[in-house]
Amino acid sequence: MYKKWSRFAKEHPYSGIMIAGIVGSIIGITIEYLINQDFHPDSIWPAVTIIIVLLLFEKYKK
């Protein structure tokens, strides 16, 4: 599975970053909800910012 993900991330770097960010956000939101029984929408903005920065790094790396 890791080899498939690694190959996919090399072939489609932007999609790889987006999928990793979305999956990470879903896991984080789920853990926060299970522990605190609430969700604050403001906590999504740091994740969005990190995804944008990673996309910019990928764009200018080439």
User: Tens digits of per-residue pLDDT, 3-44?
Assistant: 887 888 788 888 888 888 888 888 888 888 888 887 777 778
Q: Give the pLDDT score at 31.
A: 87
Per-residue model confidence as pLDDT tens digits over 40-59: 777 788 888 888 888 888 88
d(CA 48, CA 29): 13
Q: Which residues contact 43 (CB under 8 A, 6 or more apart)?
A: 28, 29, 32
Locate tokens 């990928």: which residue? Answer: 58
Q: Give the pLDDT score at 62.
A: 63
Q: Give the pLDDT score at 33.
A: 85
